[in-house]
Amino acid sequence: MPLNDTKLRRIAGKPYDGPEEIADGGGLSARISPKGLITFQYRYRFNGKPARLKLGTYGKMSIKEARDAMEECKGWLEEGRDPAMQRKKARDIVSNSPSISTLVDEWLETPSVKEMVKYEYWKRMLKLHVTDNYGRLIADEMSPVEWEQIFLRITKGGSPVQAGNVLVKMKQVIRYALRRKRITSNSLMLLEINDVGSRPDDGEWVNIGDMVQVPDTYDTNQQAGYIVSRTGNDFETNERITFSGSMFVQITDSMGATTARYPASPRADTPFGFTAEIPAITLNLYDGFDVQSPSRYAIATSEELDSGRWTVTAKQPDGKGSTALTLAEYSDKIYE
């Protein structure tokens, strides 16, 4: 007769002198100790040898969960895998699952991330908004709702744009962890900026004192436009690019942050683009709907790029989604 809760509740936690084992069917049974401790177990054969696997204890595991675990074990057997080893691997993964703080630290240590112009800024922001309060949580155990609370807290503090910015950066952290198989859950990726905050207006991500790259569009040696697509190290652009001498390129990521300079060379298949070994950063690619402000590029000689550097001295939003910037000639002396 199959197991049922009425029968097990009468036995659980009480002195017991009945049958040592009660079968449920299909190899699943409940083993009962003299003190009324009920353990679900699964009997099976692997490589011709009998085996018995503990699935869990009644009270922490329901009869339904035990039956589901048995079916999972049967699936492994059909694939030629030992259920005992598969459950051990699952336990090892859980016990070794990294915390949010560990994943953020690992991401910050990658060479491509260290080259971000705003590296120190984002290191501080992730500490302030994420790891200081939530760093000990296990990423694989986080649900979308639990992730959402991290960013809603920023919005409730009066910074909805920053909430969206931090979400974008944490998606980069989680995407890096998923690629390296450090975690298995991608629950954070289900959230969108509009779920937790708002997108920045043009110019809102720039702060007074920042250095910005502003190509001189009247100077034929300085070329700029936006990124249309990327395949490996090949970038497609909206403007034709003319190469002359040693050229370097800088592009903006999905948050408007500028990369370091990378040597650029012509593409063999089209004049609308370039080839450069730029790290796998997240780009904004214009689609007319969700992405209105695409990632941009500036390409020129090193000297010409230097001449296009300016310092933001003032900013004035116009209330219509744009921001006017006042610039002054950039000098490295501002850091002295």
**Confidence tier at 334 by pLDDT (50, 70, 90):** very low
Q: What is the structure's pLDDT at 244? A: 85
Q: What is the pLDDT of residues 190-214, one digit of tens each?
A: 998 889 988 766 555 566 666 676 7
Is 100-195 a CATH 1.10.150.130 domain?
Answer: yes
**pLDDT the model gives residue 325:** 79
pLDDT at 37 over 70: yes
Contact between residue 167 and residue 173 where contact means Cβ atoms under 8 Å apart: no
Collapsing DSSP to helix, strand or coil, 51 comes out as strand
Q: Which helix (H) or strand (E) holds 8?
A: helix 5-11
Q: Where are the beta strands (DSSP E) in 121-259?
A: 211-213, 223-231, 234-237, 247-251
Strand partners, 230: 235
Region 214-241: mean pLDDT is 84
Lowest mean pLDDT among 60-69, 199-208, 300-309: 199-208
List the domain boundaries for the chain: 5-95, 100-195, 217-305
Q: What percent of the chain has pLDDT over 90?
A: 54
Lowest mean pLDDT among 88-92, 155-159, 185-189, 211-215: 211-215
Q: Report DSSP state, residue 259.
A: P
Highest mean pLDDT among 1-10, 192-201, 298-307: 1-10
Which pLDDT tens digit goes with each residue over 93-146? Answer: 666 789 999 999 999 998 878 877 678 889 999 999 999 999 999 999 899 999
One DSSP character per residue, 70-124 reads HHHHHHHHHTT--HHHHHHHHHHHHHTPPBHHHHHHHHHTSHHHHT-TTHHHHHH
Q: Kindly tell me if the per-residue pLDDT of 16 is higher than 90.
A: yes
* Tokens 């949010």 sit on residue: 100
Amino acid letter for position 132: D
What do you get for the CA distance between the two ends of the chain, in Å? Answer: 83
- Type of residue at 109: E
Query: Percentages helix, strand, coil for the chain, rounded to the nearest 5?
Result: 35, 25, 40
**What number is the average pLDDT over the span 60-65?**
92
DSSP H or E stretch at residue 22: strand 21-25
pLDDT-derived band at 304, boundaries 50, 70, 90: confident
> Which has the minimum average pLDDT: 153-167, 171-185, 243-257, 276-290?
276-290
pTM above 0.85, yes or no: no
Return the CATH fold of 217-305.
Thrombin, subunit H (2.40.10)
Mean pLDDT of the chain: 86
Looking at domain 5-95, its CATH superfamily turns out to be Integrase, DNA-binding domain (3.30.160.390)
Whether 17 contacts 33, CB under 8 Å: no
Residue 22: predicted pLDDT: 93
Q: Where are the alpha helices (DSSP H) in 273-335?
A: 302-307
Compute the distance between CA of residue 169 and CA of residue 191 in angstroms, rounded to an integer.
13
Element (H, E) at 299: strand 296-300
Residue 256 to residue 165: CA distance in whole angstroms:
10
Give me the sign of the Cα torsion angle 63, 65, 68, 70: negative
Q: How confident is the model at residue 274 (pLDDT cuts 50, 70, 90)?
A: very high
Q: Is 60 exceeded by the pLDDT of residue 336? A: no
The pLDDT assigned to 297 comes to 92
